[in-house]
Amino acid sequence: MGQQIVTPRGSTAFMHVFRPQPAMQEGKEPQYTVTLLWDEGDKKLAKLGKAIVEVAQEKWGDKAAKMLERGQLRSPLRPGSDKEDTKAAEDFEGKVFLTARSTDKPQVVDNDLESVMDQMDVYSGCEGRADIYLFPYDKAGNRGVGAILNSFQKLGEGERKSGRRVAADAFGDDEDEGEDELV
């Protein structure tokens, strides 16, 4: 019960594909995560939306689509307004997003399907897509469809959201830059 799918290309946030982050719940294993963002109403999300409904229907039958619409089942594809109380709220405005998680380290590749070794090459704000496994869950009063992160493909550059920059950008060509008089 579940479905493998590759997401459409999107902008990334909260990228943790090289080192797991502590789990939100005490006692849970650390997790690798990626959040992908798309513009609201983006037509390339139709296949992903259909897959979410199909997975929900496997568990809850024909009523699942209406249950997702009404919020009776949680969808992994959520409106950006769900992040309005966070520091990243501005980046999520007018967007929809999906967060995929895994306790297993995902494979990370580039456009040529070569493994990405340099962690600075994959960052929050780059463009990419994820191979995910959608599954239904019904646990402790929470019901919906979740997304497990299998692998991530970086497809392009974007505005780095971490505030960190690549050393070559920081130091540039001028070796004397930044050496103001210290008198």
pLDDT in tens, the chain (183 residues): 899 999 999 999 999 999 999 877 788 899 999 999 999 999 999 999 999 999 999 999 999 999 999 999 999 999 998 876 667 778 899 999 999 999 999 999 999 999 999 999 999 999 999 999 999 999 988 999 999 999 999 999 998 886 666 677 777 766 655 555 555
- Number of domains into which the chain is organized: 1
Structural domain for 36, as ranges: 3-158
Q: Flag whether 20 is in a domain.
A: yes
CATH number at residue 32: 2.40.50.140
Q: Does 45 map to a domain?
A: yes
Asked if 32 and 16 count as a contact pair (C-beta separation under 8 A), the reply is yes
AA identity, residue 39: D
Could you tell me which of 28, 37, 6, 33 has the C-alpha nearest to residue 17?
33
Region of residue 14 (phi > 0: left; psi between -120 and 50: alpha; otherwise: beta): left
Q: What is the pLDDT of residue 75?
A: 96
